[in-house]
Amino acid sequence: MILSEEKLKQTGKKEHSPYPEKDDFFTAVSVDCVIFGLDQESLKVLLIKSDYPLYEGRWSLLGDLISPDEDLDQAADRVLFERTGLQNLFLQQVHCFGKADRHPSGRVISIAYYSLVNIEQIELLKRDHELHWHNINSVGELAFDHNKILNTCLTHLQQQIKTETIGFNLLPEKFSLRALQFLYESVLMVELDRRNFRKKVLSTGLLIDLKEMEANVRHRPAKLFKFNRQKYESSEIKNNFI
């Protein structure tokens, strides 16, 4: 849609001075965080009961309006901290959602972030009954355009996990190769060949063999590994992990 010059003037904006002035139109800006976690069952997403009247009873993403003096990334960090008590989590901007009618209360554009957390690490702090981990395949109808936001973030995650080593953020410090493979299968929603998977991840040289074993499993215990973050950071080739 092309706005006529007249329409542009109605907004109080002068042609060729596209900078904010007192009488300009302003919008509200929020961040929404898609917080992914993984447990033994499946990939999950953390949702909160909506307190917005129109969407009462629906689940929604965790979000908030940005404050005047905080960067966007800081706003997302803050939302995450307020909900999980954790700081410096993996967090990445994905897309800005800005359809004029996406929010019933008025013009609100929202910047979507996604985060990867280790569920066990934050389970402890989560006493809030309005918060719940949902299986990624059964979230139902969310408030606002949050289904769309969630899908966009999931697609990004699936793309990114193939070329970067972000997946380790979903695992505890020490993990078995089975856990790592389960992660990839859960996120990408495919089945992978065990032998080929092991061969590939071990050939990257990015896993440190901890010479430790799983305990209390009712099958042959697996070796435990940890991610060699240092080596990854200092290596030149940072794409094409899997």
Partner DNA sequence: ACAAAAGTGTTTTTTGTACACCCATGA
Partner DNA sequence: TCATGGGTGTACAAAAAACACTTTTGT
State the residues that interact with DNA by CB under 7 A: 176-178, 193-196, 198-200, 213, 215-223
- Buried b / exposed e over 195-215, threshold 16 CB at 10 Å, is eebbeebeebebbeeeeeebe
Neighbours of 65 (CB within 10 A): 11
Task: Record the tokens describing residue 139, joined without a space.
Answer: 């979230």
- Say what angle helices 194-203 and 177-188 make with each other, to 10 degrees: 110
Q: Which does 177 bind (CB under 5 to 8 A by kind): its own copies, DNA, none?
A: DNA
Contact 58, 138 (CB under 8 A): no
Q: Which does 8 bind (CB under 5 to 8 A by kind): its own copies, DNA, none?
A: its own copies
Shortest gap between Cβ of 241 and DNA (angstroms)? 10
Q: Which does 229 bind (CB under 5 to 8 A by kind): its own copies, DNA, none?
A: none
Please identify, using beta-carbon distances, which residue of 65 and 125 lies nearer to its own copies: 65
Please identify, using beta-carbon distances, which residue of 20 and 205 lies nearer to DNA: 205
- Say what angle helices 146-163 and 177-188 make with each other, to 10 degrees: 130
Please identify, using beta-carbon distances, which residue of 41 and 193 lies nearer to DNA: 193
Q: How far apart are CA 46 and CA 34, in angstroms?
A: 7
Please identify, using beta-carbon distances, which residue of 216 and 234 lies nearer to DNA: 216
Please identify, using beta-carbon distances, which residue of 200 and 231 lies nearer to DNA: 200
Contact 50, 58 (CB under 8 A): yes
Three-class SS state of 230? helix
Task: Write out the residues near its own copies by the rule CB under 8 A.
Answer: 1-3, 7-8, 11, 13, 16-20, 24-30, 51-52, 63-74, 77-78, 81, 87, 93, 95-100, 103, 105-109, 111
Q: Which does 20 bind (CB under 5 to 8 A by kind): its own copies, DNA, none?
A: its own copies
Q: How far apart are CA 214 and CA 32, in angstroms?
A: 37
Shortest gap between Cβ of 108 and its own copies (angstroms)? 6
Shortest gap between Cβ of 185 and DNA (angstroms)? 12
